[in-house]
Structure 1
Amino acid sequence: MKKIYLLAFILVFNSNLFSHTNQEINLDYKTYNLNVPDKHPLDKTQYKKIILDNKLKVILVSNPDFNMSAASMHVNVGSISNPSEHQGLAHFLEHMLFLGTEKYPNVDDYSSYLAQNGGYSNAYTTSNHTNYHFEVYHNSFEGAIDRFSQFFISPLFTDEFTEREMNAVNSEHQKNLQNDWRRMYQLKNSHMKKGHPTNTFSTGNLETLKNVDRRVLVDFYNRYYSSNIMCLSLLGSDSIEQLESWAREYFSEVENKEIPYNSFDPVALDEKKLFRLLKMVPVKDEKYLSLSFPIPLRLYELYGSKPLSILGSTIGHEGSGSLLSLLKSKGLATSLSGGGSPSSRDFGSSSITIELTEEGLKNYEQVVKYCFSYIQMLKNSDYPLHIFKEEKALGQIGWAYSDKGEGTSLALSYANNLSFYPMDIAERVDYYYDKPNEESYRQILSYLRPDNMLCLLSDKGLKTDKVETWYGTKYSYLEVNSNFYKSLFNPSIESEMFLPEPNEFIPENFRIVPKFGFKEPQKIVDKKGEEIYLAQDNMFKRPKVVYNFNINLPLKYSELNNSVLLDFYIACVNESINEISYPARLALLDYSIAPSSTGISVYVSGYNESTEKLLSKISEHLNNYKITEERFENLKAKILKGFDNHKLTDAWRQTRSIRDQFLKNPYFSPSQKFQAGQTVTLEQVRDFSDDIFTNIFLKGLVYGNISRLSAIKEIKKFKMELGVGFTKGTEFIQEQSLEIDQAEEIIYETKSISNNSCFWKQYIYGNNSVDDFAASSLLQNFIRTPFYTEMRTKRQLGYIVWAGSSSRKQSTGLYFIIQSNSTSADQVSDIANSFIAKMPNMFRSMDSKTFKMIKSSAIDKLLEKSKSISEEASKIYSKLYIDMVPSNWEEIVIERLKALTKDEVGRVFESAISKQEQESITILFFGKDHDKSSSKANVKDIEFFKSNRDYK
């Protein structure tokens, strides 16, 4: 999938931060004397940066512990370089590079090679660059590098696929038409300074690309695709010497055209003594206020002091003294984000985006005043040195102990960093803090002014008089010089506003506890109502721990009304703890309090010293959350909007929800919850939660750098603060799955208000035995590429085309998904089913070499090591409580895979999809403009269907 990232390097902080009241804050400028290594003892990563003779910058990263090898190429051209007569050209060219090269002319050679070897590829276009990337198993890395390098040496740009891929770009645009953030982004860009490069349509569609032919593509490619403005990353388990050899062998032929880096007008918005206001009607029922401030500075050059990050950590703060805290207390807002990003090497922007309540919408001018009041407070205050010191300390800690990832996410980050930052710190620039720079911080603050602002207000009920060209957004635009506007230049500072206080969650103790003698998870609590496992980290040796608990509730809580009340209760808890929890997130902790399929999930992970504090605060708020009636009503409106807006999400997401409604019990759709939630009151939620923990079954896992005694101590403390109890004989919620014990094809149809249709077919077979799982993991590697090539590249049915395998406790399955803006669901179904029926024969005709490659990649997938403590904890938890398989499950499946023959897998494939034997569910989701030719459905009502079926 080639997804467009509209903003690069976004430093947005979901406003959630610290706490205090309106007294003088003790901003004790603490110096963190951290005893952390510059490099962790177990980190085997080696780095080398080189510049080839053609001036291509390359970063080489070798680590024998990588699961996958990966590569990324950064090209210093993006959508702001689109010619006005061919808007979207940079993005369209990105698509075309995947469709054959002189050395590898077959359109699916690259994708097939990667799929057969467990790989994956993608690309995206932002305002200022394009990035191509892939990952693959180590033994196939050189072959993938060879194919990848040809993108930048000899692409074909064939006429045959130019028109077809133009349709794919148009399908991608059609997919995004109901995305309010893209609509907002486009609307703001179109009202920047006339003639400025931001004033462009970035993704393109059939209208803007209709005159693009091979000549236009080649001209754009020759103009901007030059090795001297490209940067490459190669990451693998091979030695640095081998990686360098491949870089020189395969990329030295990329032509150096000595193209200079693009330079753009840094002033994106004319300075006007006027209040510029856009009013827009969104697709979803959501109320937003967005203030955008163009910044005419070379922001990438400020990597050492990171003033945008510091600013985001103040404006985006959510604790006492914050802008959001004030807005919530006045009943004007429910969430806020603040931050900024470079848009090119010459300019960037900062923004504040606020989700408004109904009262906030009515009084949006007052909300704008509060924003400028907070900005003025920042201007009047001392430079927040304590925030810089905290972020610098967290950078040091993160570089030493964090999971830096691998694969495409790391590769693209390194390639991009190589372009924008000095080569010597490209791998660590995200963690790098040099010295505080108050001058740059003040300079950025100086651009947060009313005469350098574009204000956007978004709500369903706004009156408008214009329609935006590319997304069809209804809007109006005003420029006024009112008394309100004039008041913004000299705002009074609210007494409740002040800088964040120091973060109590930043760890300073990094001791590794002694290891005990067993490797397998051990049950350390096993009694009535409790079952907790402990597994100690023997892989990573980081001072981190994970607590993953599931509070299993009695069966009565599985009813619709109780399920909705549980959603409201969890939302109240999260709202109550919000001001405390954000500094924990900043301090590299992760946590979640959420409804689960059987009750309540509580998850905390991070550094030992900090997780204990956070877990205690979570249990305190679970048992004693605090929320006012007014704030509850605003929260209720937000929850109900979330349920109701589901009908406006992507067609494939809505179709997935329908599938889950069939397969899972209990499961309630967003529309069911929307109806049931209308009458919920705070009193009902309080009554519901008063005794919720008096009869539970607590299950969970503690994993990481922790002793048995410490784990038991934390569990006891958690239970005591919750006041948990257990009643003998109670029946608890169990997630159950639809039982299909004979050949049956379930077909369901639904009409929607979406502009896309969706076909979703799920084949269900076997009982998720070792044989079933082994066969499906192998089949997944086979079906993905031919289905994608036929349905998307050749048939042009839609941008989203997926195929793969899935497993549940009782069964295994294969799925095929197509989202289409051009073709109705029943027509897509006919085309897809016809092709799927041919796939077993395609599988049987596969040569032995290809079968061996597919089998090898399936084995490699099972051999993949966890990349972090949290990932390993998740894997162990899933084996214990979700998949319920032995701890050595991978070894068992690998042994079966090794012995599996092509004939055996072929028989499984044929049986799974044959008309006579198949057990399947087909969801036909019809877009608003697509009519069905004739009904194929044999199920009309899902709830009636479920009431007559068994779930186990």
Structure 2
Amino acid sequence: MTIGSTTLLTHSLDNRQYQFCQLNNGLRVLVVEDPNAEASSVAATVANGHFSDPTDCLGLSHLLEHMLFQGNQKYPLVDAFATFISLHGGYINAATGSEYSHYYFSITDEHLAQSLDHFAHLLTQPLFEINAIEKEIQAIDAEFSLKINDDLRRLYEVHKETSNPAHPFSQFSVGNKTTLNQRSNKDVRRLLEELHQKMYVTRNITLCVISTLDNQACLNLIKQNFDFITDGTPPVSTSLPPLYLPEQLGIRINITPLKAARRLIVTFALPSVIRHYRTKPLSIISELLADEGQNGLLGHFKARGLATNISVGGGIEGSTFRDFNVNLQLTELGLTQIDAMLESLFHYIQLIKHHAKERFFSEKKALLLQEWKFADAIKATDEAIGLASAIFCYPEKHIVASEYLLDKPDDSVIDELLRYFSPTNMRVKVVSPNAKTNRLSHWYKTPYAFESIAPDLIEKLLYPKGDLSLILPDENPFLSPDHTLVKQETCPAALQQTVKTTNFNLWFGQDDQFGLPRGDCYVSFDCEAAMQGVEIATIKKLWIAILNSHFQQLYYQANVAGLNYHLYSHQCGFSLHTSGFSTKQLRFNQELIEQIHSFDGFTKHFEQVKQQQWQSLHNNLLNKPINRLFNRLSALMQQNTHTPLSMVNIMEKATIEQVHEVKHGLLSKRHIESLVYGNWCANEADHFGKELQQKNAGYIGHEKLSRSISNLCGHDILLHPLPCEHPDAAVVIYYQAPHANLRDSLLTILLEQLVSPVFFNFARQQAQLGYLVGSGYVPFNQHPGIAFYLQSPQYSAQYLITTIRNFLQKLAINLQPFKKNWQDMKRGVVKQLCGKDANLGMKSQRLWSAIGNQDYSFMQKQNTLRELSDLEFSDLMAFVDGLALGKNIGELILYSDQKHHIAPSDLNAILLDDISAFKKRTPLVK
């Protein structure tokens, strides 16, 4: 039985079926029948977050989230659900926020019923065993320690400490052993039970399931598995005090970061705006403030050398409050001009206040409708989380439509909100390495200071002086009212190579699957000069960044209108990828390519972009050890990938003359490969190809360049130390499979699928080595490999290495029990590698990857199915045995340990300490 049923508002092209209802026990459920779903995606949202934490046990809600995975009455084994999900081709995760917690997973349809049984018991019948509580407090403390040097968390804590101490937002939300061990474990268990009984009740939980099952069958499964939960009503929510006290507004906060960063963050304190979802006033305000054109705020600041980037609209949000941020990345000069920048900001806000807003509503409404009707599918679990959360926020009818609905445009609503955009209602954060501070935040020890903004500056900002260079954007020239589908051509092949020469290849495919007026166009340049070492690679990185800064100003409106571009560097050159609506896209791509060749006005952007790139490289050296080890692994394995350390000094000394020289060198000798896939007909792709071929005619051509990698197999174990100032020890052990063939790739993927939950449970739960632990499939240029990684605040790197090796040896001996899961594992890999493409973008990416790997038959799915059917469990056992014993497997150990040195002889390894020499002497494999 269900209570009530509502028709949900959707758009005319949505072929999915939605059904919302409330079960007799109060659980609200949305089921979505999606004929194109590759798997079932499930999300539950619980109206409980860290705002519910007792003041003497901060982090309790976070601990509760962890404890739900530590066994329940029906499935008492720790991580039983996570293991079940992994062995059946899915994944699972959870997150705790301020007022909501989210639990979500993906699973094959045939295992949906059993997974829902697991899920219902996980959410409602946890065991809360004392030893598990103790271990999870250690895990949460390890998570806290891992993030102790994370600048985002550090800034967030300063934000909390400068808010109303009576508001729960001000509390420490993550928790650590200090806060969670204030009470005995028995007391913590009692608090967990009380919080769970109070908040994890049916009327406080929403559920969304997206699957191929028809809605009634899916609802029946949900009832079967959730009906046993008794009706529960959450406590009446207490009203929250104001987020900020009067003395916490109209203030400036100076903050010193760990990484080199310069930011101006202006925060306006607003009430909740959820009720205005059909007007979307903040969307209008955000897009106007974020305009990156020449006459917008960012263009104004760039022209004066004050800022390099802007983001607008983000900020903390809750049921009664909303922060609205204007976040600017500053230059050194910008740090000295904060008051003038604030005056420009308030002048621009005045322009918005006094400008007729009808056109902006009209544009936004058209854009939202286009995005909704013609959206490429997003990740199904993300959508399930969004829909489960929306049940709490919007009327039933608008649960699906809320994000896109703009049917009540109203200037007065914008004007009402703009009253909050006042200097007396703002908080100004200035993040700077040399900030003057007089306080340290409690948990993360972030230096900061705050003071009231001077009355004369407040007065100036209330009546800002005009600046004629600041102008609201004109009508968007990239908007197109025509998004029709082209006529399907007879017998369209999946992909056709329409141009094939020594130095230029063009592939074309007309989408016949998704029926959307969208497409993707890739153009990749292989440049002979890109292979000439780290200096060329560094200057190429700078040139690409300058181009992106130039494009940012020219084509911001294109992105708003649904025409996206991504210009990026790769090891053999660079690539341009445009995506979005097909109308105008090929012309847009051609315009970008023309700019790549013709734009030489580097002076305008050079100093700002160079400083930005140097700062980024320098900040890489401050990343947590695991990230640095994986970056180093990439540099060791790929011939034309270089370490940030080798690039940072070159970037610092780079000149404009070098950029011109490297640009000329890169473009003078090249090979171009392109893919046009989507809502285009052959003559459009042919015209695009001829334009591109003509552009290529004046340059020296060559064949596609090799993406060779280091061949570790058949050689000694290699040990590479990486100096790092972080106190944690960290290890990455990379095992390279013997061959770059499909069989070894599948065996490596199968092994990772099997070992991932087992290793995680062992390292995190049993051995308690740290928070950052895991394994992953890590191929380099399609050569398969697997990596195991650990970062620990307690143990030495040598201990971690020994622990990983012992784990693998025991796994090789005790692999037989997993044989019963063999077919499920293979089905999981089929789903992962051979499933239907979830959206047009994914299909385009798959085809482009196949072209990059010279798989011109595009038979990867068929070949994978055939190879998988031939694999036996004994093949995996032999493969694992080879891994554990080092037979025909390449092994590279990377470690960072500030306190301990490892002698290579202790591991029967060879020291790898000179990267350049290693690359020169190590044989390569394609």
TM, length-normalised to structure 2:
0.94
In structure 1, which of residues 764, 782, 801 is the aligned counterpart of residue 754 of structure 2?
A: 782
1:61 Cα offset (Å): 0.5
Which whole-Å CA distance do the structure 2 matches of 1:666 and 1:541 have between them?
Answer: 40
Report whether the alignment pairs 1:895 with 2:870: no
Report whether the alignment pairs 1:121 with 2:95: no
Which whole-Å CA distance do the structure 1 matches of 2:829 and 2:293 have between them?
Answer: 47
1:251 Cα offset (Å): 2.0
Report whether the alignment pairs 1:877 with 2:848: yes
Structure 1 residue ranges without an equivalent (≥5): 1-36
Q: Which amino acid counterpart does residue 58 of structure 1 have in structure 2?
A: V
Q: Secondary structure at the residue paired with 1:477? A: strand
In structure 2, which of residues 356, 360, 378 is the aligned counterpart of residue 387 of structure 1?
A: 360
Which whole-Å CA distance do the structure 2 matches of 1:579 and 1:883 have between them?
Answer: 36
Q: 1:273 to 1:70 in 2, by over 3 A?
A: closer
Which whole-Å CA distance do the structure 1 matches of 2:124 and 2:601 have between them?
Answer: 61
Q: Which amino acid counterpart does residue 931 of structure 1 have in structure 2?
A: H
Q: Secondary structure at the residue paired with 1:389? A: helix
Give CA-to-partner distance per residue, 1:462-489, whole Å, 9 cap, x none. 2322110111111122235342233222
Report whether the alignment pairs 1:855 with 2:831: no
- Higher mean C-alpha displacement, 433-442 vs 233-242: 433-442
Structure 2 residue ranges without an equivalent (≥5): 1-9
Which whole-Å CA distance do the structure 1 matches of 2:553 and 2:311 have between them?
Answer: 14
Q: Secondary structure at the residue paired with 2:790? A: strand
Q: Secondary structure at the residue paired with 2:403? A: helix
In structure 1, which of residues 317, 338, 347 is the aligned counterpart of residue 312 of structure 2?
A: 338
Report whether the alignment pairs 1:592 with 2:563: no
Which whole-Å CA distance do the structure 1 matches of 2:771 and 2:212 have between them?
Answer: 34
In structure 2, which of residues 511, 514, 526 is the aligned counterpart of residue 540 of structure 1?
A: 514
Q: For the Cα contact (< 8 Å) 1:93–1:217, is it kept in 2?
A: yes
- Higher mean C-alpha displacement, 412-421 vs 620-629: 620-629
Q: Secondary structure at the residue paired with 1:455? A: strand
Which whole-Å CA distance do the structure 1 matches of 2:530 and 2:36 have between them?
Answer: 48
1:814 Cα offset (Å): 2.0
Q: For the Cα contact (< 8 Å) 1:764–1:912, is it kept in 2?
A: no
Q: For the Cα contact (< 8 Å) 2:737–2:748, is it kept in 1?
A: no
Q: 1:274 to 1:75 in 2, by over 3 A?
A: closer
Which whole-Å CA distance do the structure 2 matches of 1:376 and 1:173 have between them?
Answer: 43
Q: 1:797 to 1:627 in 2, by over 3 A?
A: farther
Which whole-Å CA distance do the structure 2 matches of 1:825 and 1:590 have between them?
Answer: 44
TM, length-normalised to structure 1:
0.92
Report whether the alignment pairs 1:484 with 2:457: yes
Q: Secondary structure at the residue paired with 2:26? A: coil
Give the match for residue 504 of structure 2. 530
Match runs of 1:268-667 below 5 Å:
268-272=243-247, 275-296=250-271, 298-340=272-314, 343-382=317-356, 384-513=357-486, 514-555=488-529, 557-625=531-599, 627=601, 629=603, 631-667=605-641
Q: Which amino acid counterpart does residue 283 of structure 1 have in structure 2?
A: L
Give the match for residue 752 of structure 1. 724
Q: Secondary structure at the residue paired with 1:55? A: coil
1:776 Cα offset (Å): 2.1
Q: 1:788 to 1:273 in 2, by over 3 A?
A: closer
Q: Which amino acid counterpart does residue 149 of structure 2 have in structure 1?
A: Q
- Higher mean C-alpha displacement, 182-191 vs 678-687: 678-687
Report whether the alignment pairs 1:209 with 2:180: yes
Give the match for residue 26 of structure 1. none
1:498 Cα offset (Å): 2.3
1:662 Cα offset (Å): 1.3
Which whole-Å CA distance do the structure 2 matches of 1:334 and 1:724 have between them?
Answer: 36
CA RMSD of aligned residues (A): 2.1
Give CA-to-partner distance per residue, 1:916-941, whole Å, 9 cap, x none. 54321111122x4x434655562122
Q: For the Cα contact (< 8 Å) 2:63–2:140, is it kept in 1?
A: yes
Give CA-to-partner distance per residue, 1:261-307, whole Å, 9 cap, x none. 634436322234974121111011010111112112x3111111111
Give the match for residue 193 of structure 1. 164
1:875 Cα offset (Å): 0.4
Match runs of 1:157-236 below 5 Å:
157-211=128-182, 213-236=188-211
Q: Secondary structure at the residue paired with 2:667? A: coil
Q: For the Cα contact (< 8 Å) 1:581–1:614, is it kept in 2?
A: no
1:407 Cα offset (Å): 2.9
- Higher mean C-alpha displacement, 885-894 vs 167-176: 885-894
Which whole-Å CA distance do the structure 2 matches of 1:704 and 1:630 have between them?
Answer: 37
Report whether the alignment pairs 1:925 with 2:896: yes
Q: Which amino acid counterpart does residue 355 of structure 1 have in structure 2?
A: Q
Give CA-to-partner distance per residue, 1:43-65, whole Å, 9 cap, x none. 54110000111222110011122
Q: For the Cα contact (< 8 Å) 1:79–1:126, is it kept in 2?
A: yes
Give CA-to-partner distance per residue, 1:637-660, whole Å, 9 cap, x none. 011001110011232221111101
Q: Secondary structure at the residue paired with 2:722? A: strand
Which whole-Å CA distance do the structure 2 matches of 1:943 and 1:916 have between them?
Answer: 27
Give CA-to-partner distance per residue, 1:703-735, whole Å, 9 cap, x none. 112122110211232454x5553436x576432
Give CA-to-partner distance per residue, 1:902-926, whole Å, 9 cap, x none. 1122112211331454321111122
Match runs of 1:116-155 below 5 Å:
116-155=87-126
Which whole-Å CA distance do the structure 2 matches of 1:64 and 1:731 have between them?
Answer: 43
- Higher mean C-alpha displacement, 731-740 vs 811-820: 731-740
Task: Say how many residue pairs are matched.
Answer: 907
1:324 Cα offset (Å): 1.1
Q: Which amino acid counterpart does residue 258 of structure 1 have in structure 2?
A: T
Q: Which amino acid counterpart does residue 737 of structure 2 have in structure 1?
A: Y
1:822 Cα offset (Å): 2.9
Give the match for residue 706 of structure 1. 680
1:741 Cα offset (Å): 4.4
Q: For the Cα contact (< 8 Å) 2:284–2:360, is it kept in 1?
A: yes
Report whether the alignment pairs 1:734 with 2:703: no
Q: Percent identity?
A: 23
Which whole-Å CA distance do the structure 1 matches of 2:631 and 2:354 have between them?
Answer: 50
Give CA-to-partner distance per residue, 1:881-901, whole Å, 9 cap, x none. 136374111221212212321
Report whether the alignment pairs 1:105 with 2:76: yes
Q: 1:741 to 1:528 in 2, by over 3 A?
A: same
Which whole-Å CA distance do the structure 2 matches of 1:597 and 1:856 have between them?
Answer: 34
Q: Secondary structure at the residue paired with 1:147? A: helix
Q: 1:912 to 1:833 in 2, by over 3 A?
A: closer
Q: 1:218 to 1:359 in 2, by over 3 A?
A: same
1:556 Cα offset (Å): 5.7
Q: Secondary structure at the residue paired with 2:497? A: strand
Q: For the Cα contact (< 8 Å) 2:167–2:241, is it kept in 1?
A: no
Which whole-Å CA distance do the structure 1 matches of 2:604 and 2:827 have between them?
Answer: 59
Q: For the Cα contact (< 8 Å) 1:88–1:205, is it kept in 2?
A: yes
Which whole-Å CA distance do the structure 1 matches of 2:612 and 2:21 have between them?
Answer: 52
Q: Secondary structure at the residue paired with 1:211? A: coil
- Higher mean C-alpha displacement, 479-488 vs 695-704: 479-488
In structure 1, which of residues 812, 816, 826 is the aligned counterpart of residue 784 of structure 2?
A: 812
Q: Which amino acid counterpart does residue 32 of structure 2 have in structure 1?
A: V
Q: Which amino acid counterpart does residue 870 of structure 1 have in structure 2?
A: G
Which whole-Å CA distance do the structure 1 matches of 2:500 and 2:128 have between them?
Answer: 64
- Higher mean C-alpha displacement, 528-537 vs 908-917: 908-917
Q: Which amino acid counterpart does residue 895 of structure 1 have in structure 2?
A: R
1:630 Cα offset (Å): 5.2
Which whole-Å CA distance do the structure 2 matches of 1:236 and 1:497 have between them?
Answer: 50
Give the match for residue 836 of structure 2. 865
1:689 Cα offset (Å): 2.2
Give the match for residue 811 of structure 2. 839
Give CA-to-partner distance per residue, 1:658-701, whole Å, 9 cap, x none. 10111100111111111111221223212332464333111121
Q: For the Cα contact (< 8 Å) 1:331–1:630, is it kept in 2?
A: no
